[in-house]
Chains A and B, each alone.
Chain A
Amino acid sequence: SQKIEQNSEALNIQEGKTATLTCNYTNYSPAYLQWYRQDPGRGPVFLLLIRENEKEKRKERLKVTFDTTLKQSLFHITASQPADSATYLCALGATNKLIFGTGTLLAVQP
């Protein structure tokens, strides 16, 4: 069956460091992959979209990679700040639906 895995454990890092979040998938061949940020009590907010023929996408301090051979996407936040603390969701566009992972909680310590 189709499955998406994100680190269920929280990721704790120091301010100024690079945070790297992982999204792995199986039994999918997604044409698109998206990343969202979700704060407590709020809805997800779209961050980046990457297509299967793109290896990397950047937006300010954010970078996403998409490796269709490894079936993996990495989400990087450089020069992280306490304000980056949130849950980050990956979502895959597959045959007939957008499938969301359960998210990884990022905590950036000052």
Chain B
Amino acid sequence: NAGVTQTPKFQVLKTGQSMTLQCAQDMNHNSMYWYRQDPGMGLRLIYYSASEGTTDKGEVPNGYNVSRLNKREFSLRLESAAPSQTSVYFCASSSARDGGIIGNQPQHFGDGTRLSIL
């Protein structure tokens, strides 16, 4: 049982390049999330999706777009990468039906994408 799978695991980009981070879960969860983790900042929510076809902004959405392709997949896109977006990106999923944003269900995380932007 794979849980939450993220690809790629590592990526180096130049400023201005674009890329898409992929995330897939096999737990039949309704809700999916994208976070970034920076030293001393904790995990910060970028976007979330409470169900297939819906997405909502989190705490730090600027510079990112997302797509909930189907129930399993939730992608994060950087249209024009900036050095400030250098970070570790985590995808998570939850069985919560309201998006789980009030914390009433555990979240299951992938192992992250380490992204460096030069």
The number of inter-chain residue pairs (CB within 8 angstroms) is: 70
**B interface, how many residues as a size bin?**
20 to 34
Question: Which chain B positions have C-beta within 8 A of A30?
Answer: 103
Please give the number of chain A residues whose Cβ is less than 8 angstroms from any Cβ of chain B in the complex: 27
**Contact indicator B106/A97 (Cβ below 8 Å):** no
Q: Which of B101, B106, B110, B112 contacts A34 (CB 8 A)?
A: B106
Say yes or no: A31-B109 contact (C-beta < 8 A), given A97-B59, A100-B42: no
B interface, by DSSP: helix, strand, loop or mixed? Answer: loop
Near B by CB (< 8 A), chain A positions 23-74 give 30-34, 41-46, 49
Given contacts A43-B4, A101-B42, A102-B42, contact A32 B103 (CB under 8 A): yes
In the complex, the answer to whether B111 meets A91 with C-beta atoms within 8 Å is no
Question: Taking beta carbons and an 8 Å cutoff, which residues of B are in contact with A?
Answer: 4, 35, 40-45, 58-59, 90, 92, 100-112
